[in-house]
Amino acid sequence: MSARDAILGRLKGIAPDAAQAAALLVAPERPAVDEAALEAEFLARLALPSVSASHDAIDSMADLPAAIRRYLDAQGEDRTLCLPPDPRLAYCDWSGFTLHDVAAPAEVAALAIARRGIAETGSLVFETGPAAPMLPNFLALHHIVLLATRDIAPYLEDAPLPGAQPRAHYWITGVSGTTDIEGTYVQGAHGPRFLHVILLRA
């Protein structure tokens, strides 16, 4: 007998009622979010010490390069950027930047476009796809994220997008951190030490 048959043989039972599983999700306890002020709620969470993200806001995609330039200059970093192959970014004027699309092991800054923002936790939701590699978002020292304010949703339950699931659906809620030495929190463990969110208010 295969291990599969042996295990499943011991777990035989009646199939669950789908309604029973759904009933477990009625009115879940969760932090209160003011749905009339999602942007403010999201930004408040973003500023928590556990998330430690900075933010900026722009009114149109055309302003994106200038916002990134502002950030990198303020950080004292070169205007070098790992850019995903997303067609929406092709219309921006990237003059003055050194761009590449494959992240280096010691990547300084990478841009990504979040699919959603979650007000409950200040989380940024990403999905892998042809125009959205995953690795740069974990390698870069500075992770710069573009998020349209209309994509901010109240709760983590709102994170999944409809349709077929991508290889990876992931939530980033702050910078890479660790408490592995004496429980003391330090930032920049293996991944980004800085997280900068640029809100697109168009």
Tell which one of 156, 197, 198, 199 touches other proteins (CB under 8 A): 156
Of residues 7-36, those binding other proteins (CB under 8 A) = 7-8, 10-16, 20-21, 24-25, 28-32
Work out which of 87, 96, 105, 162 binds other proteins, going by CB under 8 A.
105
Q: Is residue 192 involved in binding other proteins (CB under 8 A)?
A: yes
Comparing CA positions, the residue from 106, 93, 98, 43 lying closest to residue 72 is: 98
Among 58, 112, 114, 134, binds other proteins (CB under 8 A): 134
Does residue 163 touch other proteins according to CB under 8 A? no
Residues 6 or more apart in contact with residue 66 via CB below 8 angstroms: 58
In degrees, rounded to 5, the angle at the alpha carbon of residue 65 between the alpha carbons of residues 59 and 71 is 95
- 3-state SS assignment for residue 144: strand
* C-alpha span between 67 and 17 (Å, rounded): 51
Nearer to other proteins by Cβ, of 6 and 36: the residue is 6
Q: Which x/- pattern over 52-81 shows residues binding other proteins (rule: CB under 8 A)?
A: ------------------------------
DSSP assignment string, 64-125: HHHHHHHHHHHHT--SEEE----GGGTTS--TT-EEESS--TT--EEEEE-SEEETTTTEEE
Which 81-100 positions form the footprint of other proteins (CB under 8 A)? Answer: 85
Compare residues 32 and 90 and give the one whose CB is closer to other proteins.
32
Q: Which residue in the set 82, 109, 113, 139 belongs to the binding site for other proteins (CB under 8 A)?
A: 139
User: With 0-12 CB in 10 A as exposed, 13-18 as middle and 19+ as buried, what is 15?
Assistant: exposed
| Binding of residue 106 to other proteins (CB under 8 A) | yes
Smaller CB separation from other proteins, 76 or 190: 190
DSSP-derived letter for residue 178 is: E
